[in-house]
Structure 1
Amino acid sequence: MPSSAESYLLDYHQRLVGVTARCFARTPVLRDGRTFPSTYALLEAAVPREARPLTVLDVACGDGYLLELLAARQQPGLSLVGLDMSAHELDAARVRLRGAATLHQGRAQELPLADGSVDVVLSHLALMLMDDVERVLAELRRVLRPGGTVSFVVNGDMVRGDAMEVFVGLLRPLLASEAVPPAPLGDARVRTVEGLQALLGGAGFEDLRTHPLAIQGDGEPRAVWDALRMTYDVDRLSPAALASLEASFLRAVEPLRRAGGSIPLRWGMRQVTATTPT
């Protein structure tokens, strides 16, 4: 039986298939002073471009956008595997990928793969949502070969002084007034560098590297609102509270407008990479 958090996520991704890729597939990201096309592109680049047998697993692959980036390489020896809990997301992935990857419906806590069968594990905005993260990491460690790599994008620290800070400041009192507790998703340790170090080290990973990311979501106020309203806490508001939040947000960000009409929005995230011992 899925947990309450998993049941909510399954419902959310049935209603909003492909939402994560729609929000972030074409949104530039700043890492280490350089701008990259997207967080998906950062993960795609973590896979070696080598003409040798190489198996890549995308955990919580959603509608298959990251796997599609990898398939577009047409790289000799590259085998792609995707796993997701949501049958609806996997249906969309099958349409997108047209047989370019092997897809499994299941949970990261019980990977349907053999020991030492994977070279690279990727995951985009999912690890911080998962129950029993220690078991997830143990499973990833189990299926990875010696010298294998994991690379995740997870939530990071909030970037101050832009539309995200305005949004969070307006959302918190609304959640309190509706007695809506924070969405009970994942393990808080995944949201800090120290927690990630402890979790990955405890699972037997080494050479941990973390990179702060600033996703560049600037746009017209309405477009920024449309992106922010897809967050899990907003999804759980009543229609009246949602309408109130929208109106308050659009008023509050007017002082942030630039000459061209856009407002600044930065999603704070992290890319986390580690390896298994050789």
Structure 2
Amino acid sequence: MPSPSESYLLDFHARLAGVTSRWFASAPVEVEGATARSSYALLEAVVPHDARPLTVLDLACGDGHLLELLARRGQPGLSLVGLDMSAHELAVARTRLAGAATLIQGRAQSLPLGDASVDVVLSHLALMLMDDVETVLAELRRVLKPGGRVSIVVGGDLVPGNALEVFSGLMKSAAEVPPMRLGDPRVRSVDGLRALFAEGFVDVTVRSLSVQGDGPPRQVWESLLTTYDADRLSPAAQASLEAAFLQAVAPLRRSDGNVPLRWGMRQLTATHQARAT
């Protein structure tokens, strides 16, 4: 049986399949003084461009956007696998990918893959939502080949001075229900991530990302409304929050009519350490 948090996530993604790529597939990312096309593109870039056989697992693949980026390469020897617990997200992914990847409905805590069968594991905005993260990491160590790589994007720190900061402040007073505690809090800090990946992984790097979601105030509001805590508010509370938000961000509006929106995220990349014999 799904846990309470998994039941909520399954319901959310049944109602809003494809929502993650809707907001982030084309959102530029500031990282280490440069700008990347998107948080998905940062993960796609981890997979080597060469002709040797490679198996890539997209963990919690959603609607398949990241797998599509990889499939577009037409790279010989590249085998793509996507796993997600949402049948609704996978239905969108099947249409998108048209057979370019093997798609599996399942949970990250019990991967239906063989030992040492995967070269690269990627995951976009999912690990911080998962129950029993230590079991998930044990499964990654099991299925990764020695020397295989893992790269994940997870939520990061609040970036000050933009619409998300305004929204977060309003949510503290608007919430009718307590925030849902999704996943393990260690995934939400740099020290926690490093501690979780200390076992069985080497060359662990964590980069801070600032994802740009700027847009007209109502478009920005629509993206914020699909955060998990806001989604759980009643329609009346959402309407009240919307009015307060649009008023509060008016001073942030630029000459182009847009308001700044910055999502703080992190990208962790690590190498699976071969076991000593």
Q: TM-score range by the shorter chain?
A: over 0.9
Q: Deviations over 1:123-143 (max 9, x none)?
A: 000000000000000000100
Instruction: Quote the residue 1:192 is aligned against.
Output: 189
Instruction: Quote the residue 2:127 is aligned against.
Output: 127
Instruction: Quote the residue 2:225 is aligned against.
Output: 229
Instruction: Quote the residue 1:214 is aligned against.
Output: 210
Instruction: Quote the residue 1:266 is aligned against.
Output: 262
Distance 2:244 2:8 in 1: 27
Distance 1:87 1:165 in 2: 33
Matched, 1:8 2:5: no
Which amino acid letter does the alignment assign opposite residue 145 of structure 1? K
Deviation at 1:240, TM superposition (A): 0.9
Instruction: Quote the residue 2:39 is aligned against.
Output: 39
Q: Deviations over 1:12-65 (max 9, x none)?
A: 000001110101001111111111111000000010001100000000000101
Q: Deviations over 1:103-157 (max 9, x none)?
A: 1100000000000000000000000000000000000010000000000000000
| 1:63-212 equivalences in 2 (<5 Å) | 63-175=63-175, 178=176, 180-202=177-199, 204-212=200-208
Distance 1:75 1:5 in 2: 37
Distance 1:156 1:277 in 2: 26
Deviation at 1:268, TM superposition (A): 0.2
Distance 1:134 1:231 in 2: 25
Distance 2:89 2:235 in 1: 26
Does the residue aligned with 1:99 lie in a helix, a strand or coil?
coil
Q: Which runs of 4 or more aligned residues in structure 1 lie more than 4 Å from their structure 2 counterparts after TM superposition?
A: none
Which amino acid letter does the alignment assign opposite residue 197 of structure 1? R
Does the residue aligned with 1:201 lie in a helix, a strand or coil?
coil
Distance 2:164 2:91 in 1: 32
Distance 2:159 2:272 in 1: 32
Instruction: Quote the residue 2:53 is aligned against.
Output: 53
Distance 1:260 1:87 in 2: 40
Q: TM-score scaled to structure 2, two decimals?
A: 0.98
Q: TM-score scaled to structure 1, two decimals?
A: 0.98
Distance 2:81 2:171 in 1: 38
Which amino acid letter does the alignment assign opposite residue 248 of structure 1? A
Distance 1:276 1:21 in 2: 28
Deviation at 1:256, TM superposition (A): 0.6
Distance 1:182 1:207 in 2: 34
Deviation at 1:183, TM superposition (A): 1.3
Distance 2:50 2:166 in 1: 45
Tell me how many residue pairs correspond in the alignment: 274
In the alignment, structure 2 segments of 5+ residues that lack a partner are none
Which amino acid letter does the alignment assign opposite residue 145 of structure 2? R
Deviation at 1:66, TM superposition (A): 0.4
Which amino acid letter does the alignment assign opposite residue 6 of structure 2? E
Distance 2:182 2:273 in 1: 30
Does the residue aligned with 1:167 lie in a helix, a strand or coil?
helix
Q: Deviations over 1:200-221 (max 9, x none)?
A: 113x111110000000111111
Deviation at 1:238, TM superposition (A): 0.8
Distance 1:48 1:183 in 2: 37
Distance 2:256 2:71 in 1: 37
Does the residue aligned with 2:198 lie in a helix, a strand or coil?
helix
Deviation at 1:258, TM superposition (A): 1.0
Which amino acid letter does the alignment assign opposite residue 29 of structure 1? V
Does the residue aligned with 2:57 lie in a helix, a strand or coil?
strand
